[in-house]
Amino acid sequence: MNKKDAIDMIETLKKTYPDATCSLNFKTPFEIVIAVMLSAQCTDERVNKTTPELFKKYPTIEDFANCDINELEEIIHPCGFYKNKAKNAKACAQKILSDFNGIVPKTMEELTSLPGVGRKSANVILLEAFGIANGIAVDTHAKRISNKIGLSKEKEPTKIEQDLLKIFPKEYLKDVNHLFVWHGRNTCTARNPKCENCAIKKYCKTYKTKHKC
Protein backbone atom coordinates (compact mmCIF):
# COMPACT_ATOMS: atom_id res chain seq x y z
CA MET A 1 0.00 0.00 0.00
CA ASN A 2 1.31 3.46 -0.81
CA LYS A 3 1.48 6.27 1.75
CA LYS A 4 -1.50 8.14 0.32
CA ASP A 5 -3.78 5.12 0.57
CA ALA A 6 -2.48 4.38 4.06
CA ILE A 7 -3.35 7.92 5.18
CA ASP A 8 -6.77 7.80 3.46
CA MET A 9 -7.44 4.50 5.19
CA ILE A 10 -6.55 5.90 8.61
CA GLU A 11 -8.71 8.97 7.98
CA THR A 12 -11.60 6.64 7.09
CA LEU A 13 -11.06 4.66 10.31
CA LYS A 14 -10.98 7.93 12.29
CA LYS A 15 -14.41 8.82 10.92
CA THR A 16 -15.68 5.28 11.58
CA TYR A 17 -14.42 5.19 15.18
CA PRO A 18 -14.33 8.82 16.36
CA ASP A 19 -14.15 7.70 20.01
CA ALA A 20 -11.24 5.28 19.57
CA THR A 21 -9.01 5.67 22.63
CA CYS A 22 -7.23 3.44 25.11
CA SER A 23 -9.88 1.50 27.02
CA LEU A 24 -7.78 0.82 30.12
CA ASN A 25 -8.64 3.02 33.11
CA PHE A 26 -5.78 4.76 34.92
CA LYS A 27 -4.96 8.03 36.69
CA THR A 28 -1.15 8.04 36.89
CA PRO A 29 1.76 6.82 34.73
CA PHE A 30 2.42 3.99 37.19
CA GLU A 31 -1.22 2.90 37.06
CA ILE A 32 -1.04 2.49 33.27
CA VAL A 33 2.19 0.51 33.68
CA ILE A 34 0.34 -1.91 35.96
CA ALA A 35 -2.87 -1.93 33.88
CA VAL A 36 -0.93 -2.76 30.70
CA MET A 37 0.92 -5.51 32.54
CA LEU A 38 -2.35 -7.03 33.71
CA SER A 39 -3.89 -6.78 30.24
CA ALA A 40 -1.56 -9.44 28.76
CA GLN A 41 -3.79 -12.37 27.70
CA CYS A 42 -6.73 -10.63 29.40
CA THR A 43 -9.49 -8.28 28.30
CA ASP A 44 -9.31 -4.57 29.14
CA GLU A 45 -12.78 -4.93 30.64
CA ARG A 46 -11.54 -7.52 33.13
CA VAL A 47 -8.51 -5.37 33.98
CA ASN A 48 -10.77 -2.37 34.61
CA LYS A 49 -12.81 -4.44 37.04
CA THR A 50 -9.67 -5.45 38.92
CA THR A 51 -7.67 -2.22 39.13
CA PRO A 52 -10.02 -0.15 41.36
CA GLU A 53 -9.49 -2.55 44.30
CA LEU A 54 -5.82 -2.92 43.42
CA PHE A 55 -5.04 0.80 43.34
CA LYS A 56 -7.09 1.40 46.49
CA LYS A 57 -5.07 -1.17 48.40
CA TYR A 58 -1.73 -0.03 46.91
CA PRO A 59 -2.05 3.69 46.11
CA THR A 60 1.68 4.36 45.62
CA ILE A 61 4.68 2.79 43.89
CA GLU A 62 6.16 2.18 47.37
CA ASP A 63 3.04 0.22 48.33
CA PHE A 64 3.53 -2.07 45.33
CA ALA A 65 7.25 -2.44 46.03
CA ASN A 66 6.61 -3.44 49.64
CA CYS A 67 3.43 -5.45 49.15
CA ASP A 68 2.78 -9.00 50.30
CA ILE A 69 3.06 -10.94 47.07
CA ASN A 70 0.36 -13.43 48.10
CA GLU A 71 -2.15 -10.63 48.70
CA LEU A 72 -1.24 -9.04 45.38
CA GLU A 73 -1.69 -12.39 43.60
CA GLU A 74 -5.12 -12.81 45.15
CA ILE A 75 -6.37 -9.42 43.90
CA ILE A 76 -5.10 -9.85 40.35
CA HIS A 77 -6.02 -13.54 40.11
CA PRO A 78 -9.00 -12.86 37.74
CA CYS A 79 -6.61 -11.38 35.13
CA GLY A 80 -4.82 -14.71 34.63
CA PHE A 81 -1.09 -15.51 34.79
CA TYR A 82 -1.38 -13.90 38.21
CA LYS A 83 1.82 -15.32 39.68
CA ASN A 84 3.99 -13.93 36.92
CA LYS A 85 2.10 -10.64 36.77
CA ALA A 86 2.34 -10.15 40.57
CA LYS A 87 6.07 -10.90 40.54
CA ASN A 88 6.64 -8.45 37.69
CA ALA A 89 4.45 -5.70 39.20
CA LYS A 90 6.32 -5.81 42.50
CA ALA A 91 9.76 -6.02 40.85
CA CYS A 92 8.82 -3.22 38.45
CA ALA A 93 7.85 -0.93 41.34
CA GLN A 94 11.11 -1.77 43.12
CA LYS A 95 13.16 -0.94 40.02
CA ILE A 96 11.35 2.36 39.43
CA LEU A 97 12.21 3.30 43.03
CA SER A 98 15.82 2.11 42.92
CA ASP A 99 16.83 3.17 39.39
CA PHE A 100 14.48 6.02 38.46
CA ASN A 101 13.91 7.94 41.72
CA GLY A 102 10.35 6.67 41.93
CA ILE A 103 9.35 8.25 38.60
CA VAL A 104 8.11 6.20 35.64
CA PRO A 105 10.73 6.76 32.91
CA LYS A 106 9.83 8.29 29.55
CA THR A 107 12.05 6.45 27.08
CA MET A 108 11.64 3.14 25.26
CA GLU A 109 15.02 1.92 26.48
CA GLU A 110 14.33 2.69 30.14
CA LEU A 111 10.77 1.39 30.08
CA THR A 112 11.76 -1.92 28.50
CA SER A 113 14.37 -2.34 31.26
CA LEU A 114 11.48 -2.71 33.73
CA PRO A 115 10.36 -6.26 34.60
CA GLY A 116 7.25 -7.26 32.64
CA VAL A 117 7.44 -4.34 30.19
CA GLY A 118 8.11 -5.23 26.55
CA ARG A 119 8.17 -2.99 23.51
CA LYS A 120 4.42 -3.16 22.91
CA SER A 121 3.65 -2.20 26.53
CA ALA A 122 6.25 0.56 26.46
CA ASN A 123 4.64 2.05 23.33
CA VAL A 124 1.27 2.08 25.12
CA ILE A 125 2.76 3.64 28.27
CA LEU A 126 4.64 6.33 26.32
CA LEU A 127 1.51 7.32 24.43
CA GLU A 128 -1.08 7.11 27.19
CA ALA A 129 0.99 8.45 30.09
CA PHE A 130 3.15 11.01 28.30
CA GLY A 131 1.61 11.63 24.86
CA ILE A 132 4.80 10.37 23.17
CA ALA A 133 4.20 8.50 19.88
CA ASN A 134 7.48 7.44 18.30
CA GLY A 135 6.33 3.86 17.77
CA ILE A 136 3.17 1.82 17.32
CA ALA A 137 1.99 -0.80 19.81
CA VAL A 138 1.47 -4.01 17.84
CA ASP A 139 -0.97 -6.17 19.76
CA THR A 140 -3.07 -9.05 18.49
CA HIS A 141 -5.48 -6.73 16.62
CA ALA A 142 -2.77 -4.58 15.02
CA LYS A 143 -0.90 -7.72 14.00
CA ARG A 144 -3.93 -9.43 12.41
CA ILE A 145 -5.15 -6.32 10.62
CA SER A 146 -1.70 -5.33 9.34
CA ASN A 147 -1.34 -8.80 7.82
CA LYS A 148 -4.86 -8.90 6.36
CA ILE A 149 -4.77 -5.44 4.83
CA GLY A 150 -1.33 -6.09 3.40
CA LEU A 151 0.61 -3.50 5.40
CA SER A 152 3.06 -6.15 6.54
CA LYS A 153 3.82 -9.77 5.74
CA GLU A 154 5.75 -10.20 8.96
CA LYS A 155 4.56 -12.26 11.93
CA GLU A 156 6.75 -10.77 14.65
CA PRO A 157 5.29 -7.62 16.25
CA THR A 158 8.62 -5.77 16.21
CA LYS A 159 9.02 -6.33 12.46
CA ILE A 160 5.38 -5.41 11.80
CA GLU A 161 5.95 -2.19 13.75
CA GLN A 162 8.97 -1.36 11.56
CA ASP A 163 6.83 -1.87 8.42
CA LEU A 164 4.06 0.34 9.84
CA LEU A 165 6.56 3.05 10.78
CA LYS A 166 7.76 3.15 7.17
CA ILE A 167 4.21 3.74 5.89
CA PHE A 168 2.57 6.08 8.40
CA PRO A 169 3.78 9.67 8.86
CA LYS A 170 4.64 10.63 12.46
CA GLU A 171 1.45 12.62 13.07
CA TYR A 172 -0.61 9.43 12.54
CA LEU A 173 1.32 7.19 14.91
CA LYS A 174 -0.78 8.10 17.94
CA ASP A 175 -3.96 6.92 16.17
CA VAL A 176 -2.93 3.68 14.47
CA ASN A 177 -3.06 1.32 17.45
CA HIS A 178 -6.33 2.68 18.85
CA LEU A 179 -8.02 2.50 15.45
CA PHE A 180 -6.78 -1.01 14.71
CA VAL A 181 -7.93 -2.21 18.14
CA TRP A 182 -11.39 -0.73 17.61
CA HIS A 183 -11.59 -2.05 14.06
CA GLY A 184 -10.45 -5.46 15.31
CA ARG A 185 -13.07 -5.55 18.03
CA ASN A 186 -15.95 -4.26 15.92
CA THR A 187 -15.40 -5.31 12.32
CA CYS A 188 -12.19 -7.15 11.48
CA THR A 189 -12.67 -9.74 14.19
CA ALA A 190 -10.42 -12.79 14.30
CA ARG A 191 -13.37 -15.06 13.54
CA ASN A 192 -15.94 -14.00 10.96
CA PRO A 193 -14.75 -10.53 10.01
CA LYS A 194 -17.58 -8.38 8.66
CA CYS A 195 -15.87 -7.67 5.34
CA GLU A 196 -18.96 -6.54 3.42
CA ASN A 197 -19.61 -3.82 6.02
CA CYS A 198 -15.96 -2.87 6.40
CA ALA A 199 -15.26 0.83 5.84
CA ILE A 200 -11.74 0.13 4.57
CA LYS A 201 -12.35 -2.91 2.37
CA LYS A 202 -11.24 -1.05 -0.74
CA TYR A 203 -7.75 -0.79 0.79
CA CYS A 204 -7.64 -4.39 2.04
CA LYS A 205 -5.46 -6.90 0.24
CA THR A 206 -7.41 -9.88 1.62
CA TYR A 207 -10.71 -8.44 0.44
CA LYS A 208 -9.38 -7.50 -2.99
CA THR A 209 -7.84 -10.96 -3.45
CA LYS A 210 -11.08 -12.70 -2.53
CA HIS A 211 -13.16 -10.46 -4.78
CA LYS A 212 -10.53 -10.18 -7.52
CA CYS A 213 -10.76 -6.36 -7.39
Please identify every residue annotated as catalytic: 120, 139
User: How far is Cα 38 from Cα 16, in angstroms, rounded to an integer?
Assistant: 29
Q: Toward ligand SF4, which CB reaches closer, 49 or 210? A: 210
Q: Toward ligand SF4, which CB reaches closer, 10 or 86? A: 10
Q: What are the Cα distances from residue 177, in Å, to 16, 112, 120, 149?
A: 14, 19, 10, 14
Site of interaction with ligand SF4 (CB under 6 A): 148-149, 187-188, 193-195, 198, 200-201, 204, 206-207
Closest approach of ligand SF4 to the CB of residue 65, in Å:
43
Closest approach of ligand SF4 to the CB of residue 60, in Å:
43
Closest approach of ligand SF4 to the CB of residue 22, in Å:
21
The separation between CA 197 and the C-alpha centre of its own chain, rounded to angstroms, equals 25
CB atoms within 10 A of CB 68: 10
Closest approach of ligand SF4 to the CB of residue 140, in Å:
14
Q: Toward ligand SF4, which CB reaches closer, 106 or 205? A: 205
Q: For the range 200-204, what are the long-range contacts, defined as Cβ-Cβ under 8 Å and sequence gap of 24 or more?
A: 200/9, 200/12, 200/13, 200/16, 200/149, 203/1, 203/5, 203/6, 203/8, 203/9, 203/12, 203/149, 204/148, 204/149, 204/150
Q: Toward ligand SF4, which CB reaches closer, 82 or 180? A: 180
